[in-house]
């Protein structure tokens, strides 16, 4: 994750008012306090604020911001102190790439494997299982989808044995929640692999488990999966409907933020700029009230960098090329390590597609195809999502560059990926 926490509330306010960074800087300088203090705000200062490099601007700038926006600095995402997460687990220091190994090792501790085989819940079993599920969810961004699917299915089969064992009511509830998260994760991986029916079956099962125990966040994520499926499949009105249904039950959780941003993406696909901006702003507001996550790489945790990623795609679909490019480039920068590898390859792949579409619309075919191929070259990605997003770029290229060899080259790569998805053999891309 990025070293600094992006200030998404300030960015959301600027986006909703359709200001560039330079325009916002000029307006700050033109406020009453800006004139009296001779402030020299510029585009770079706004960038540093939005990137989280400056958490608490100097007093004159805070006053100028309040005069410009009508909001206090805290409502714009500024803070005098850094927020920290509330959970303390040993797995915190484990990198996503090592999470699958750590999960396997955990099953060898505390005699967990023997307890599972005995279909009984001993002391510490549920705590260890919950930590194991967290590790699997943290492995999601970087572990090959087939590997993660097989491991998750194996764990589900083991955990399900416990449900028939000797359980108190509290243990039964907690185990259902653990099973629900595993099932939701499995549904996501199935969908990444193009296994649509299996994904929907898992999604429904996760929702039912959440409903049985009254777990709003789990039910919210099940609704979010429905919105995601609808988005990829082109059912944009259904995206908005599913996202709003999920918001009714999710509470103040990461699921609520994700659902609000999915609503924004559905609205962007429909072309409703005003409501999409409002949804992005609402999502930023909810996110600001949540504690900073210990493990933002967890698939069912929404972090500030993900807000920037979602905004990039929204503005790409709304044909706001300058804003789309700004957010897409920052997404790639935030998630690229010094050695060139990525800690969030699926986000980076989508950001490359966003940049490809922007370049294509601006008339730069070489850069558009370069960005599109870069998305295909990323190892861990959701093939279903990638084919959907690459289709956006392919349509722009074929409309604008029908007889160009480079456009044909990208089209062939796109068709290869689509065939791989159709036949459920993603290894054909390798």
Question: What is the predicted pLDDT for the residue at 395?
Answer: 96
- Alpha-helical runs (H) found in 335-382: 345-362, 365-376
At 110-146, the pLDDT tens digits run: 455 555 555 556 656 788 888 889 999 999 988 889 9
Question: What is the predicted pLDDT for the residue at 77?
Answer: 93
Q: Residue 313 in 3-state DSSP?
A: helix
Question: What is the predicted pLDDT for the residue at 429?
Answer: 40
- Alpha-helical runs (H) found in 143-272: 145-162, 169-192, 196-213, 216-232, 236-250, 254-270
Cβ 25 vs Cβ 42: under 8 Å: yes
C-alpha radius of gyration, the chain, whole number: 23
| Confidence (pTM) | 0.86
- Rounded Cα distance between 425 and 264, Å, is 32
Question: What is the predicted pLDDT for the residue at 108?
Answer: 63
Give how far the C-alpha of residue 192 lies from the chain's centroid of Cα atoms, to the nearest Å: 14
DSSP secondary structure, 190-204, as one string: HHHTT-HHHHHHHHH
Question: What is the predicted pLDDT for the residue at 428?
Answer: 36
- Rounded Cα distance between 192 and 232, Å, is 11
Question: What is the predicted pLDDT for the residue at 296?
Answer: 85
Question: What is the predicted pLDDT for the residue at 176?
Answer: 93
Question: What is the predicted pLDDT for the residue at 93?
Answer: 53
- Rounded Cα distance between 417 and 428, Å, is 8
Question: What is the predicted pLDDT for the residue at 90?
Answer: 37
Q: Residue 177 in 3-state DSSP?
A: helix
At 300-326, the pLDDT tens digits run: 999 999 999 999 999 999 999 999 999
Each residue's pLDDT, cut to its tens digit, for the chain (430 residues) gives 556 889 999 999 999 999 999 999 999 999 999 999 999 999 999 999 999 999 999 999 999 999 999 999 999 999 887 544 433 233 345 566 677 777 777 666 545 555 555 555 665 678 888 888 999 999 998 888 999 999 999 989 888 888 877 788 888 899 999 999 999 999 999 999 989 999 999 999 999 999 999 999 999 999 999 999 999 999 999 999 999 999 999 999 999 999 999 999 999 999 999 999 999 999 999 999 998 888 888 999 999 999 999 999 999 999 999 999 999 999 999 998 888 888 888 999 999 999 999 999 999 999 999 999 999 998 766 788 899 999 999 999 999 998 899 999 999 999 998 888 777 544 334 3
- Rounded Cα distance between 303 and 309, Å, is 10
CB crowding 240-256: b at 16 or more within 10 Å, else e: bbbbbbbbebbeebbbb
């Amino acid at each position: 994750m990025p070293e600094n926490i992006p200030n998404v509330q300030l960015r959301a306010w600027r986006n909703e008012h359709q200001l560039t960074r330079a325009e916002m800087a000029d307006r700050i300088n033109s406020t009453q306090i800006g004139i009296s203090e001779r402030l020299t705000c510029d585009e770079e200062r706004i960038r540093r604020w939005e990137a989280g490099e400056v958490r608490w601007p100097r007093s004159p700038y805070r006053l100028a911001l309040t005069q410009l926006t009508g909001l206090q600095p805290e409502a714009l995402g500024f803070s005098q102190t850094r927020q920290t997460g509330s959970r303390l687990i040993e797995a915190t220091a484990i990198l996503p790439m090592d999470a699958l190994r750590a999960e396997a090792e955990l099953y060898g501790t505390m005699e967990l494997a023997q307890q599972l085989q005995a279909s009984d819940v001993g002391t510490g079993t549920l705590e260890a299982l919950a930590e194991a599920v967290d590790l699997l969810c943290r492995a999601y961004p970087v572990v090959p989808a087939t590997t993660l699917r097989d491991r998750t299915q194996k764990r589900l089969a083991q955990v399900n044995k416990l449900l028939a064992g000797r359980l108190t009511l509290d243990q039964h509830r907690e185990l259902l929640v653990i099973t629900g998260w595993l099932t939701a994760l499995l549904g996501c991986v199935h969908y990444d692999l193009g296994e649509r029916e299996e994904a929907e079956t898992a999604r429904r099962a996760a929702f039912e488990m959440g409903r049985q125990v009254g777990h709003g966040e789990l039910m919210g994520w099940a609704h979010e999966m429905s919105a995601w499926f609808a988005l990829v499949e082109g059912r944009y009105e259904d995206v908005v409907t599913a996202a709003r249904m999920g918001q009714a039950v999710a509470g103040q959780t990461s699921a609520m933020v994700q659902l609000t941003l999915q609503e924004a993406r559905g609205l962007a696909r429909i072309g409703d700029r005003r409501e999409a901006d409002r949804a992005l702003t609402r999502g930023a507001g909810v996110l600001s009230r949540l504690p900073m996550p210990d493990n933002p790489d967890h698939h069912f945790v929404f972090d500030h960098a993900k807000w920037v990623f979602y905004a990039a795609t929204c503005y790409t679909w709304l044909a706001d090329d300058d804003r789309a490019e700004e957010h897409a480039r920052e997404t790639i920068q935030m998630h690229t390590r010094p050695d060139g590898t990525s800690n969030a390859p699926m986000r980076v792949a989508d950001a490359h597609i966003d940049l490809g579409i922007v370049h294509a619309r601006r008339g730069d075919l070489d850069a558009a195809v370069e960005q599109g191929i870069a998305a295909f070259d990323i190892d861990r990605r959701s093939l279903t999502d990638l084919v959907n997003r690459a289709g956006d770029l392919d349509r722009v290229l074929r409309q604008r560059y029908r007889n160009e060899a480079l456009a044909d080259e990208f089209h062939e790569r796109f068709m290869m990926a689509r065939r791989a998805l159709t036949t459920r053999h993603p290894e054909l891309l390798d």
